[in-house]
Amino acid sequence: MSATAVFEERLHVPLPSLPEQHRIADILSTVDEQIQRTDEIIEETEALKRGLMQGLLTTGPGDNVGTTEARIGPMPVEIADNWEVDYFDDVIELNPNDDVPNEDSFPFLPMDAVNEDTRTVDYWEERDAEDCTRPRFRKGDTVYAKTTPCTETGRIAFIEQPDGLAFGSTEFLVFRAREGLMLPKYAYYLLSLPQFRAVTVSLMEGSTGRQRVPSDTFEQNIRIPVPPMEEQRTIVEALDYVQRRSEQERETKRAYQDLKRGLMQDLLTGKARVSEDT
């Protein structure tokens, strides 16, 4: 039976009175308005975060009085004049070679599990040890997509779980801040900068549609600004605060969406009724 024929049949559907229909529409519209407002708050928070990242990760938290010109790779940027400019590989380790424990299986991170919008991990898979080779990473590392189009769209995530060794798609690069030189979360925020992504995209190699960032890019070509550790902590605390606000609003949006689904299921089937005069 065609889709058109289905609707031509004499289907029975719940049909409340017009006043009750208006009440149901009003209730669902109110929830829609809350979802829309929450979307606006999320966008405002993300815009604030982008602005803070741009300022904090280049000129610092505000108590620096002078700036000087430096470079992220070939890209010129203004940075606080008390910051160092170091070779990338001196402060961030690329694709760490952790020893693999004798386990039957390991957590595995597919490329699709990294959410491009929130830059968080949506899910993990469990895979047999024989299917896990590289890349390897741990809590506190940053995974970074190295192939088109995921590099351009910023598919990157800070690993907050699991506690032990994990593996992921071979299309990830793994970055680990060198202890005592850079905080793990600061490395993540630095790698999230649009300027840094622009540099990595400009250095991609390969044919159109199958380009990737070569690993030796980070071992030879890129220098990055490095603030003192105390300033790194201040910057991370500020960005983490805004990130938590954004996550809270996303949770609020999901709650409203769940509420709307429940209301539609109840109100549009007659399972729950509303008064016509309230």
**β-bridge pairing 136-137 and 105-109:** unpaired
Of 225, 197, 200, 227, nearest to 211 (Cα)? 200
Is residue 3 included in any domain, yes or no? no
Question: In this structure, are 242 and 265 located in the same domain?
Answer: yes
Count of the separate structural domains present in the chain: 2
Cβ-in-10-Å burial (0-12, 13-18, 19+) of 75 comes to middle
In this prediction, residues 231-250 reach a mean pLDDT of: 94
* Residue 35 sits in the same domain as residue 117: no
Q: Is residue 80 part of a domain?
A: yes
Distance CA 189, CA 183 (A): 10
User: Is 5 a member of any domain?
Assistant: no
Does residue 154 surpass a pLDDT of 90? no
Same domain? For 264 and 247 the reply is yes
Structure tokens at 35: 């979802």
Residue 142: its H or E element: strand 142-145
Q: What's the CATH code of the domain at 72?
A: 3.90.220.20
Helix, strand, coil percentages in the chain from 3-state DSSP, rounded to 5: 45, 20, 35
**Domain identity same for 45 and 134:** no
The enclosing domain of 271 has a CATH number of 1.10.287.1120
Q: Are residues 150 and 211 in the same domain?
A: yes
The CA distance from 87 to 218, in Å, is 8
Q: Last residue of a domain, which of 203, 226, 249? A: 226
Q: What percent of the chain has pLDDT over 90?
A: 54
As a whole number of angstroms, the distance between CA 247 and CA 42 comes to: 9
Query: What's the burial of 52, exposed, middle or buried (CB within 10 Å: 0-12/13-18/19+)?
Result: middle
Same domain, 88 and 213: yes
Q: What percent of the chain has pLDDT over 70?
A: 93
- pLDDT band with cut points at 50, 70 and 90 for residue 8: low
Q: Let me know whether 23 and 97 are in one domain.
A: no
Same domain, 171 and 208: yes
pLDDT, average across residues 144-150? 91
Burial class, 127, CB count within 10 angstroms (exposed 0-12 / middle 13-18 / buried 19+): middle
Residue 28 has pLDDT above 60, yes or no: yes
Same structural domain for residues 84 and 222? yes
The per-residue pLDDT for 64 is 58
On the 0-12 / 13-18 / 19+ scale of CB atoms within 10 A, 181 is: middle
Same domain, 100 and 214: yes
The verdict on 71 and 203 lying in the same domain is yes
Same domain for 261 and 217: no
Domain of residue 93 covers: 64-226
Q: Which of 183, 202, 226 delimits the end of a domain?
A: 226
